Amino acid sequence: MAGLVVAGVFFILVLVTIALGVRIVPQGSKQVVQRLGKYHKTLGPGLNVVVPYIDTVAYKVTTKDIVLDIPSQEVITKDNAVIIVNAVAYINIVSPEKAVYGVEDYRFAIQNLVQTSLRSIVGEMDLDDALSSRDMIKARLKTAISDDIADWGITLKTVEIQDINPSETMQRAMEEQAAAERQRRATVTRADGEKAAAILEAEGRLEASKRDAQAKVVLAEASQIAIRKITEAVQENDLPVMFLLGERYIEAVKNLSTSQNSKIVLLPADIPAAVKGIMSALNK
């Protein structure tokens, strides 16, 4: 009976030893082996053999791409504007031993490194450039942190700027500025319209005045020609002139008498002399 117990214990010990000596690493991961507390080697995917009780698997590291979400943070631009920026980084561990021994927590370290680099890059830019230059920020950010994390055996695949927006206070200020700019443009447009209308009105009055002046000149020239012709026709005889003036006078009085609100009757100042003159003219 004692022999069977010893044999059973020995058999179990063998199985445990074999289990400790054989390591099957799944695809997409690697394992860091320490021998007596010191780094020994890195196991790749598949079947691996280690020395039982001496070699131990200290770390299991994925070789797949890792997505790191960079928390949002407030960044002050070159022109003292506050914007909120967050990003996402895609990394890949190529040397697991460097990643686990080179830094305490590579995830936390990379997040802080990206945040620090973002503050430095955006701090050198104006607000307008920062809001419209995502590709440039991404390129500079990738260049800034690639060399640093390479010492940790990590490759930066890419980094993307998820959101880059002004803070709430800055957004309100920008909205007020945009409203003021629209109001200014509306005022300028309205003023230009009023100016153009005033110019057109003044030009119209000027043109009308020119036409009125030309009409008066034409009438004056016509009157001058008419007076000259009448003078040439009458010469020393003033009877036709008196007759024309009398005819115009009678016509004017007739028009005045036909007016509805006319209450004035015009008579010659010297009626007998006028009648005598008219009779003399008819006798001749």
Q: Select from 230, 238, 234 the least CA-distant residue to 281.
A: 238
Looking at the predicted structure, is the pLDDT value of residue 276 above 80?
Answer: no
Residues 206-264: pLDDT tens digits?
888 888 888 888 877 777 777 677 667 666 555 555 656 666 667 666 666 666 655 55
What's the mean pLDDT when you consider all of the chain? 81
From first CA to last CA, the distance across the chain in angstroms is 188
Residues 153-202: pLDDT tens digits?
999 998 998 888 887 776 677 667 777 888 888 888 888 888 888 888 88
Categorize the per-residue pLDDT at 282 as very low, low, confident or very high, splitting at 50, 70 and 90: very low
User: SS3 of 106, please?
Assistant: helix
* 159 burial type by CB count under 10 A (0-12 exposed, 13-18 middle, 19+ buried): buried
Categorize the per-residue pLDDT at 80 as very low, low, confident or very high, splitting at 50, 70 and 90: confident
CA distance 100 to 113: 17
**What's the predicted TM-score (pTM) here?**
0.57
